[in-house]
Structure 1
Amino acid sequence: MRASSTVDKATAVNLIVGMTLWMSLSVLVVQLFTVEAGFSFAQLYRLLAISGLSATGWHFLFFWLGERAMQARFIHLSTFALLIPAGAMIGLLNHPPLSYTALQWLAVACGFGGAQFIAFAQTDRIDHSALGWTLAVNVGIAGVGIVVAQAALPLLSSFSWGGAQAWVTMHGSGDIVGVIAPGTSLYLANHGWLVVGVLILAAIAWRYTSMPQATQQQTKMRKPTSRYRAILRNKHTWVMTLLYLMAFGSFIGFAITFPLSLQTFSTSYAPSALTYAWIGPLLGVLARPLGGWLADAFGGAKVTLWCAGVLTVSCVIAGVITYQASHSELPEQWFLGYLLTFLVIFMATGAGSSAIFRSASVVIPFELLALALRWLTAVATAGAAYIPALWYVNSSLATPAYALFGFAVFYLLCMGLVASMYLRTRSEFYNP
C-alpha cells in the first residue's frame, strides 16, 4: 500500500481535528433528541444545514486565499482557532436548558472545522501515474475525523469528565458498544473536550514534523486572478464541479445527516442510531482508495458512471423503503434494509469522489489542478447544507421519501452527463 506523498503528519492531524469538531454536531443532534432538550426533528435538521452552509462559506474564503491557506502559520492559527467553538460547546452544554439561538451560533462555529480539509494537496509532488490513488488517500484522511466523531463521541459521552453536567436520556440511545437505556446519564460537554484532546495531539505532531510550505515553483506561478479566471472559464471545471457535487457532496451531506435520519426513520420506532451511524462514513472513507485504484486502472469516467448508477438505484430503493416504513404498523422490519442500502450509497459516493478527482487531473491543466481541486471541494461541501435542508423540509411535511427520489433523479442526470461528455468515442477527453 502506497502512502500519500503530499500530506505530512501535522497537516493530517489538522484535517482530523477540523472534521471531528464539525461532525460532532451530527452526534449531538441525536443526543439532544434522546435527552429531550426541547427541539423538534425539523429544528435539529436545520442546525445541520446551518453548519453545512457555514462550512461552505469558510471553504470559499480559504479557496480565494489560495496558497496562503497552505502555509504553516495559517494552518497553525486556523487549527487552534477551533478551540473557540470547542470551548463554546463545553460551556453551552454544561448549562441547560439550551437556547436554540445559541445552538444555531454553535452550528456556525462548528462549520469552521469543516473548512480545514481544503488545504490537502500540493500537486507538484504527486506521482501523476497514480494520481487517483494519491488524492484519494489525501482526502480520505479528513474522513477519519468523521469516523472519530461518530464512533468515539457517543461512547465518551457516557463518562463524567471535569465536572461536566449530566443529561438524562428519555429515549433509547446507543454507542459502538450497544444500546443505552433510558434513564442513563450523558455528558454532552465531552464533545468539546474531545476536540481539545485532539488539538493536544496536533501540537505534539507539529513539534516533531515539518509543515508544508509553498514551493519555489508555486511562488513563481502565483497569479491568483489569472489562475482563477482560467479555471472558471474552463467548461470541464464546471462539469467536474457538478459531478463532484454528486459524489463528495452526497458523501459529506449524508455523513452529517445519517445519524439523525436513522433516528427519525419512523415516528413509532426509535432505533439505536449511534450504534450504526459511523459505519456508513467509514465505508465511504475506505472506498476512496479503492475508487482511486479502479479509476487508475479502468478510467475515471467509467468508474464515475458505475457509481452514479449505483447511487440512482440505491436512492430509489431507500426511498421505497422509507415510504413503506412510514405507512407500516411494523416499521422496524424495514430498518435493516434502509441501513444496508445507505451503506452501499456511502461506498458509491466514496469511490466516485476519487474517480472524479482522477478525471479532473486529465481534463484540467496540471498547473491549475491544485486550485481546481480546492474549487471542487468548496462547491461540493454545499452537500452538507442542502441535504439536511431537504430533510428539514421533508421532515416538516412528513414526506421523507421524496428527498431520496429527488436525489435519484439528480444522479440519473449525472450519468447522462458523464456518458455524453466523456464516454463517446469522439469526446474531447475519452474516459479520463
Structure 2
Amino acid sequence: MNTVRVSSTVDKPTAINLIVGMALWMSLSVLVVQLFTVDAGFTFAQLYRLLAISGLSATIWHFVFFWLGERAMQARFIYLTTAALVIPAGMTIWVFTNPPLSYTELQWLAAAYGLGGAQFIAFTRSEKVDTSGIGWTLAVNAGVAGIGIVIAQAALPYLTTIDLFGMASGASWTTVHGSGDIVGVIAPGAKLWLGNSGWLTIAAIILATVTWQLARPSASPQAPLGSVTNRDHYAAILRNKHTWLMTLLYVMAFGSFIGFTITFPLSLQTFSTTYSPSALTYAWIGPLLGVLARPFGGWLADLFGGAKVTLWCAIVLALSCVAAGVITYNAMNSPLPEQWFLGYLLVFLVIFIATGAASSAIFRSVSVVLPLDQLPLALRWLTTIATAGAAYIPTLWYVNSTTQTPAYALFVFAAFYVVCAVLVSYMYLRNRAEFYNP
C-alpha cells in the first residue's frame, strides 16, 4: 500500500479557526452588494476593485505562509492569526458606524480581509492514508473552510437586517435598491446594520479562542504536514514540470471556484443595468454546491482517474462560460433582462459544481505524478497560486465593467478552460504519456 502523510481530519478547534477566517474574507462579497443597495456612492467598477484588492491580499498572505513552512502549519500559529482578525473586524465596525464612507478606508479594509482567506492553506494533523483514497480525503479537508464561505454568504445578509447589538451597532443604513437575504427579498427603504459583520466576527473569534483553550489540554500532539524545513524541498517541487502543469490546472479549478465565489454575488447584482435582482437570496447556493461537489469529485477521481475527471470538468466549464457569456450579452441588450436571469443563475451553479469536482480530481492526480515526499509542500503551493483567482477574476470583471462588456470576461474564461482541456488530453490521456490518467 502506498502511503503519504496528509491531514486525514482537521481537528475541531482548527476547523473552527479556518471557518472563521474564510467567513470574514467572504463577508466582503456580501458587503459590496449591500454598499450598492444602500447607494453608498460607488460604481460597480469600484466595488469589483475592492474584491480584487482583497483577493490580492489573500494571495500575498498565502505566499508568506507558504515560505514560513512548518511554522505556519502549527496550531498556535493558526490561532494567533485568527486572533489577528480582530483588526479587520474592528475596522469594519468603525467604517460602517461612522459615515460617510471613504473609498480609501474601504480599500484598506478589503486588504485586511485578505488575511482571513490565507488560513485556507493550513492542514495540521498528519496521518498515513492509502493514496488510492487521497482524492476523497483532501476534498473533505478543503470542504471545512468552504463552510465559512457558505455561512458568510447565507447568514450575513439576514443578520445585517437585525439590530443585534443596540447602540454598538451604530446608525442603520437605508436600502435604496431592492436587496435580499436567505429568507427572501428586501424592499427599498429597509434598514441594514452593516457593522454587524464586524461584531459577529469578534464573537466568532472569542468562540474559536475558548474552544482552543478547552481542547488544548486533551489534544494529542500534532505533527506538521510533511517535512519541509529546507530549501531543497522548495527547489525540488519547482524543478518538476508536473508541479507547473498541475498548478495551471488547479488555477482552472480552485482558482475559478474561489474567484467566482467572491465575485458571484456582485455579478448577479450587476446582471443588467436596468434590472436589479435579489442577488443575496441566491448567491450562496453556488459556493455550497461547489463545496459539496469536492468530495464527489474526489470519489470520482479515485474511481475513474484524476485526469479523466479533470477533462470532463474543463469541458463543462468551457461550455458553461460560453453559455453564460451569451446570456449576459443578450440580457445587456434586451428590454426585458429579467427573462435571462434564471438561465444565468443555473449556468453558474453548474460552473461551481465543475470547479469543486475538478479541484479534488487534480489533488488526486498530484498524488500520482509527484514523489510522495514532495506532495505535502506541492499541495500547499497549488493552493497558494490558485488563490490568485480571487484577484484576477474580479479584476477582469472590473475591467469589463468600465467598458460595459461583462460578457467578454466569460468568453476569456471559456478560452482558458479549452486550453486546460487540451493540456490534460495531451499530457495525461495519451497512451504513451509519462503518466496515463493519474
Q: Which residue of 2 aligns with 1:12?
A: 15
Q: Which residue of 1 aligns with 2:195?
A: 189
Question: Shift of the alpha carbon at 1:14?
Answer: 1.2
Residues 121 and 357 of structure 1, relative CA distance in 2, 3 Å threshold: farther
Residues 356 and 139 of structure 1, relative CA distance in 2, 3 Å threshold: same
**Which amino acid counterpart does residue 223 of structure 2 have in structure 1?**
T
Would the aligned equivalents of 1:244 and 1:356 in 2 still touch at CA under 8 Å?
yes
Cα distance in 2 for partners of 1:95, 1:281 equals 32
Cα distance in 2 for partners of 1:126, 1:172 equals 50
Spell out, residue by residue over 1:263-319, the C-alpha distance to the aligned partner (whole angstroms, 9 max, x if none): 000000000000000000000000000000000000000000000000000000000
Which of 182, 202, 208 does residue 176 from structure 1 map onto?
A: 182
Which of 44, 47, 62 does residue 47 from structure 2 map onto?
A: 44
Q: Which residue of 1 aligns with 2:138?
A: 135
Residues 135 and 6 of structure 1, relative CA distance in 2, 3 Å threshold: same
Cα distance in 2 for partners of 1:22, 1:317 equals 29
Question: Shift of the alpha carbon at 1:195?
Answer: 1.1
Spell out, residue by residue over 1:139-170, the C-alpha distance to the aligned partner (whole angstroms, 9 max, x if none): 11111111000000000001113221200000
Cα distance in 2 for partners of 1:51, 1:76 equals 21
Would the aligned equivalents of 1:71 and 1:212 in 2 still touch at CA under 8 Å?
no
Cα distance in 1 for partners of 2:301, 2:214 equals 35
Percentage of pairs with the same residue: 72
Question: Shift of the alpha carbon at 1:201?
Answer: 2.3
Which of 247, 251, 261 does residue 253 from structure 2 map onto?
A: 247
Whether 1:259 aligns to 2:262 is no
Whether 1:332 aligns to 2:338 is yes
Spell out, residue by residue over 1:116-144, the C-alpha distance to the aligned partner (whole angstroms, 9 max, x if none): 11012555533423100010000111111
Moved more, 320-329 or 366-375: 366-375
Residues 90 and 416 of structure 1, relative CA distance in 2, 3 Å threshold: same
Which of 388, 393, 397 does residue 403 from structure 2 map onto?
A: 397
Cα distance in 2 for partners of 1:72, 1:37 equals 40
Which of 206, 215, 221 does residue 223 from structure 2 map onto?
A: 215
**Which amino acid counterpart does residue 366 of structure 2 have in structure 1?**
A
Q: Which residue of 2 aligns with 1:276?
A: 282
Would the aligned equivalents of 1:265 and 1:322 in 2 still touch at CA under 8 Å?
yes
Question: Shift of the alpha carbon at 1:214?
Answer: 5.5
Cα distance in 2 for partners of 1:318, 1:154 equals 25
**Which amino acid counterpart does residue 40 of structure 2 have in structure 1?**
A
TM-score by length of 1: 0.96
Cα distance in 2 for partners of 1:327, 1:201 equals 49
Provide the secondary structure at the position in 2 that maps to 1:199. Answer: helix
Would the aligned equivalents of 2:70 and 2:229 in 1 still touch at CA under 8 Å?
no
Spell out, residue by residue over 1:13-71, the C-alpha distance to the aligned partner (whole angstroms, 9 max, x if none): 11101100000000000000000111000000000000000000000000000110011
Would the aligned equivalents of 1:422 and 1:428 in 2 still touch at CA under 8 Å?
yes
Matches within 5 A, 1:19-168: 19-120=22-123, 122=125, 124-162=127-165, 163=167, 164=169, 165-168=171-174
Which of 226, 231, 237 does residue 232 from structure 2 map onto?
A: 226
Question: Shift of the alpha carbon at 1:212?
Answer: 7.9
**Which amino acid counterpart does residue 251 of structure 2 have in structure 1?**
L
**Which amino acid counterpart does residue 427 of structure 2 have in structure 1?**
M
Cα distance in 2 for partners of 1:66, 1:217 equals 9
Which of 359, 363, 377 does residue 357 from structure 1 map onto?
A: 363
How large is the Cα RMSD of the aligned pairs? 1.4
Cα distance in 1 for partners of 2:208, 2:431 equals 49
Residues 200 and 431 of structure 1, relative CA distance in 2, 3 Å threshold: same
Would the aligned equivalents of 1:8 and 1:209 in 2 still touch at CA under 8 Å?
no
Segments of 4+ moved more than 4 angstroms: 121-124, 210-214
Q: Which residue of 1 aligns with 2:297?
A: 291
Whether 1:343 aligns to 2:336 is no
Which of 414, 420, 425 does residue 414 from structure 1 map onto?
A: 420
Spell out, residue by residue over 1:354-388, the C-alpha distance to the aligned partner (whole angstroms, 9 max, x if none): 00001011111111111111100000000000000
Cα distance in 2 for partners of 1:335, 1:222 equals 48
**Which amino acid counterpart does residue 294 of structure 1 have in structure 2?**
L
Question: Shift of the alpha carbon at 1:323?
Answer: 0.2
Question: Shift of the alpha carbon at 1:224?
Answer: 2.2
Provide the secondary structure at the position in 2 that maps to 1:311. Answer: helix
Question: Shift of the alpha carbon at 1:193?
Answer: 1.5
TM-score by length of 2: 0.95
Question: Shift of the alpha carbon at 1:217?
Answer: 9.7
Cα distance in 2 for partners of 1:33, 1:76 equals 34
Q: Which runs of 5+ in 1 are unaligned?
A: none
Q: Which residue of 1 aligns with 2:3?
A: none
Would the aligned equivalents of 1:67 and 1:214 in 2 still touch at CA under 8 Å?
no
Would the aligned equivalents of 1:14 and 1:79 in 2 still touch at CA under 8 Å?
yes
